[in-house]
Amino acid sequence: MKCSNSRSAFATVTAILLLGLVTASLAALMLVSRNDYLRAESSFAQAQLRQMMLAAIIDTNSRSNNWSPTQPPEQWTLDLPADQGSVRLELLTKTPTELQVRMTASLDKHHQMQLLRYAQTDSRWKLVEVNCNPG
């Protein structure tokens, strides 16, 4: 009888230890899965923001054909579907031969800003610099 009780106690302790090991493994797996999900979500948002910035550059280049050397500051937004974020652009006058455009893209909790610098050459505005990390 004594041998049976010690075997039963040993089996119980072993089962509890294995249950704890499985629980710890599941907790670690959930943590790794959550981190992978957040990284994938952030990568998706960054890719979307880059696409929005490219669309903003294309829009700004097409608008630059109508700018004058004394272009007053103006603001506009890109037409995007409501759930696709927003892009706000602001034309800043620097000198009669240089303009800057500040682009700000937002998607959920992610944001990105860039500055475009245009110079007037041959009576046309030419994109001469893209600053991806304005200070």
What pLDDT sits at residue 135?
61
> What does the CA dihedral 15, 17, 23, 29 come to, rounded to 10 degrees?
-120
Q: Compute the distance between CA of residue 55 and CA of residue 3 in angstroms, rounded to an integer.
A: 78
Q: What tens-digit pLDDT sequence spans the chain (135 residues)?
A: 455 677 788 888 898 999 998 898 888 888 888 877 777 778 888 889 999 999 999 999 888 888 877 777 789 999 888 777 899 999 887 788 888 999 999 988 889 999 999 998 888 889 999 888 776
For residue 19, give every residue at least 6 positions away whose Cβ sits within 8 Å of its Cβ, in sequence order, or none: none
Q: Compute the distance between CA of residue 99 and CA of residue 132 in angstroms, rounded to an integer.
A: 16
> What pTM was computed for the model?
0.69
Q: Compute the distance between CA of residue 61 and CA of residue 125 in angstroms, rounded to an integer.
A: 8
Q: To 5 degrees, how large is the angle CA 55–CA 60–CA 61?
A: 100
Query: Which domains are delineated in the chain?
Result: 2-131 (3.30.1300)
What pLDDT sits at residue 89?
94
- 125 sits in which H/E element: strand 124-131
What pLDDT sits at residue 1?
47
What pLDDT sits at residue 4?
65
